[in-house]
Chains A and B, each alone.
Chain A
Amino acid sequence: MATGAQARSPRILERKLISETYAAEIEGLLARYPDKKSAVLPLMHLAQREYGYMSKEAMREVADILDLDPTHVLSLSGFYSLYYEEPTGKYVLEICNDLACALRGADEFVEMACNKLNIPVEGTTDDGLFTIKTVMCLGACDRAPMLQCNLKFEENLDEEKFDELLARLRAEAENGADKPSVVERINAFAKK
């Protein structure tokens, strides 16, 4: 838990994982908005990717870049469901089990996925690779059951395709490949 003393202490950041590495991208991003505060959600996406989750450290760095109070970043982190307040596995499997998907077997799919990875919903596998979450509608109801893995959609799933997905991700993790898609996307956006 953040204590008042910590939140108000002078901002001496121990690590800066985004402001130096992505300096040019961040500058480009800030230039888009008449008020730089608007860049807070995109920067939080970037920070979460680099820090792994919205740790206090990550929030402080975002706040520092935008001259915001860290508590403001904290409130956003709690409000928006794509920011994780706890560490997650390398691959976050967010399965939609909202009504439209549930009518096409999403609840059974969640159960199968949890059994397969031997974790409950919100749980992370011992090897730190996978976290399973259930989420609200992702806008792919015609291709249920489906999930998003680190923001990339995997659709028309069944047990066999889920096995293939896990195998692919395990191989990717082993070969040192990075989290799929997110950082490339954010970089591509920020560069414009």
Chain B
Amino acid sequence: MAHILLRNRDIPNIHKLDVYLANGGYEGLKKALSMTPDEVTAEVRNANVRGRGGAGFPTGVKWGFIPKAIDPKYILINTDESETGTFKDRELVEKNPHQVIEGALIAAYAVGAKLIFNYFRGEYMDAAFHFEVALKDCYANRLVGKNILDSDFECDFYCHYGAGAYICGEETALINSLGGDLGQPWSKPPFPAVEGLYAKPTVVNNTETMANIPPVIVNGAEWYKSMGTEKSSGPKIVCMSGHVEKPGNYEVPLGITYRELIEMAGGVRNGKGFKALLPSGGSGPVITKEALDAPLTYEGLDQYGSTMGSASVIVMDEDTDMVWAAGKMIHFFRHESCGKCTPCREGTFWMERILERILHGEGTEEDIAVLESVAKQMRGKCLCALGEFAVSPVLSTIAHFLDEYKAKVRTPEAEPV
């Protein structure tokens, strides 16, 4: 099947404007400009495009929240992609940048925004090079700026570079960061749709979400909904990493199973057996083989207590030490906690300390209980999702692999007197 998002896999040099144009590029924008803004939003809503950054919020609904009467409005593309195991947006901005630009322009037209920023994580400065060049070409060819495609629609478009902070992928943190402040989230409301960047109405959409927009406008909502399941429509890029033979991005229709994904990535490396996988990078609870036939959809892992998230699948083979894996993830969250909410800041710190102690063979059974207790006390007590994410590696590995924890700690009897 031809790719819808990763068209660079089928068409060489599609990052160049002339190649993109020769392959139907900016037809979606052209068509959108012939529709009313509300018709564009309705098409995206009817297609049931859902946010590809992980939360899965319906994109058309989000656009519909933007109040018409308040100006200016802003569109922000979230290319802060920093979740462990996620590298899908990078391929899009590197290899198929015009589709992201086109999607964002359609979004701007739909909500009445005249300024777009693409917020890249600072580490993508090099990867963003083609995106910058693509944008320059758009300015030179009246696809960005004034009189876009000879219409009255005008919109400026710039890239902005963060400087290394996972939390800036959270939309309110991203807005604060772009405003020149610490990248810390705020307690909603106010929602960005009403008070976002510079306290003006703002849409924040993931990069992959933007790439979904042009084909939806060109082919229509029904076409889009013919892919995937009833609640989860369209194509999805899945990042396969860890112990698979062929790690990389795979574009699939939503609804295929995790087992199929692993097969697609060449199976578990070196002929080893499968042990567990993280379906959404470090943020979602681990799942084991009983969940492998669950579908890749926004709700497919509900019954296994996990979530698809951004579909960053980290596969672990039978030899993987799950306590070590939990330690790696907690180290990540401790490092990336922005420090605003005490339960997250302190909880991730202590969870890392306790896990280190267990990993060094100095833990006791009581440490496992304390670890679990710290995690449970963090739940529901933080402003943003990071605090929730941070507990899942600990709680899910304790739930599935308690024996591995127990094997690492001293039993009370063996404790020195």
Interface-located stretch among A8-16, A115-123, A131-139, A170-178: A131-139
A residues near B304, Cβ cutoff 8 Å = none
Max chain B Cβ within 10 angstroms of own Cβ: one of A38, A141, A153, A181 = A141
Interface contact B123-A151, CB-CB below 8 Å: yes
Taking the nearest CB of chain A, how far is it from the CB of B355, in angstroms?
13
Q: Point out the residues of chain B lying under 8 angstroms from A166, CB to CB.
A: none
Chain B 77-94 interface mask (CB, 8 Å, partner A; 1/0) = 000011111110110000
Question: A99 near B282 (CB under 8 angstroms)?
Answer: yes
Contact A41 B162 (CB under 8 A): yes
B315 to chain A, nearest CB (A): 8
In the complex, residue of chain B having the shortest beta-carbon distance to the beta carbon of A94? B123
A100 near B241 (CB under 8 angstroms)?
yes
Beta-carbon contact of B314 and A103 below 8 Å: yes
Q: Which of B59-67, B209-217, B329-337 contacts A (4 or more CB under 8 A)?
A: B329-337
Q: Which residues of B sit under 8 angstroms from A44, Cβ to Cβ?
A: 163
The complex places the Cα of A192 from the Cα of B132 at a distance, in Å, of 9
B122 touches A80 (CB 8 A): yes
Candidates A68, A136, A142, A181; contact of B239 at CB < 8 Å: A142
B129 interface residue per 8 A CB criterion = yes
Please tell me if the beta carbons of B320 and A139 are within 8 angstroms of each other in the complex. Answer: no
Bound-state CA distance A103–B239 (Å) is 15
Does A65 sit within 8 A of B, measured CB to CB? no
For B200, the closest partner residue in chain A by CB is A34
Interface assignment of A17: CB less than 8 Å from any CB of chain B? no
Contact with A along B175-195 (1 / 0, CB 8 A): 001111111000000000000
Question: Shortest beta-carbon distance, A12 to chain B, in Å?
Answer: 24
Contact of A152 with B by CB under 8 A: yes
Q: Contacting chain A: which of B48-56, B98-106, B153-161, B368-376?
A: B153-161
Do B132 and A181 have beta carbons less than 8 Å apart? no
Contact residues, A71-86 vs B (CB, 8 A): 75-76, 79-83
- As a 0/1 sequence over residues 81 to 106 of chain A, the CB contacts with chain B under 8 angstroms (1 = contact) are 11100000000000000111011100
Q: How many pairs of A and B residues are in contact by the CB < 8 Å rule?
A: 160
Give the docked Cα–Cα distance between A38 and B239 (Å). Answer: 32
Contact A100 B122 (CB under 8 A): no
B298 within 8 Å of A (CB atoms):
no
Asked if B164 and A80 make an inter-chain contact with CB atoms under 8 angstroms apart, the answer reads: yes
Taking a contact as CB atoms under 8 Å apart, the answer to whether A98 and B90 are in contact is no
Q: B243 interface residue, CB < 8 Å from A?
A: yes
Chain B residues near A192: list those with CB within 8 A: 132, 135-136, 139, 158
Which residues of the other chain, A, contact B132 by a CB distance below 8 angstroms? Answer: 185, 188-189, 192
The answer, yes or no, to whether B406 is at the interface (CB within 8 Å) is no
A80 CB contact (under 8 Å) in B156, B165, B242: B165
Q: How far does the alpha carbon of A32 sit from the alpha carbon of B177 in the complex, in Å?
A: 16
- Known A44-B163, A153-B126; contact A136-B242, beta-carbon cutoff 8 A: no
In the complex with contacts A80-B164, A103-B320, A185-B125, A139-B182 CB distance below 8 A:
no
Instruction: Provide the residues of chain B in CB contact with A161, threshold 8 Å.
Output: none
Q: Is B110 an interface residue (CB 8 A)?
A: no
Please pick, from B85, B179, B240, the residue contacting A137 in the complex, using a CB distance under 8 A.
Answer: B85
For B87, list chain A residues within 8 Å (CB). Answer: 139-142
* A42, B160: Cα distance in complex, Å: 8
A34–B202 Cα distance when bound, in Å, is: 14
The verdict on A153 contacting B198 (CB below 8 Å), with A103-B243, A137-B84, A142-B240 known, is: no
Expressed in whole angstroms, the Cα–Cα distance for A44 and B85 within the complex equals 28
The CA of A82 and the CA of B159, in the complex, are separated in Å by: 18
Interface residue ranges, B against A (CB under 8 Å) = 72, 81-87, 89-90, 115, 121-127, 129, 132, 135-136, 139, 156, 158-166, 177-183, 198, 239-243, 247-249, 278, 281-282, 314, 316, 320, 325, 328-329, 332, 335-336, 338
**Pairs across A and B, CB under 8 Å, 18 listed:** A34-B72, A38-B180, A41-B122, A41-B177, A45-B161, A81-B335, A82-B164, A99-B242, A99-B329, A100-B241, A104-B243, A136-B84, A138-B123, A139-B89, A142-B87, A181-B126, A182-B125, A188-B129
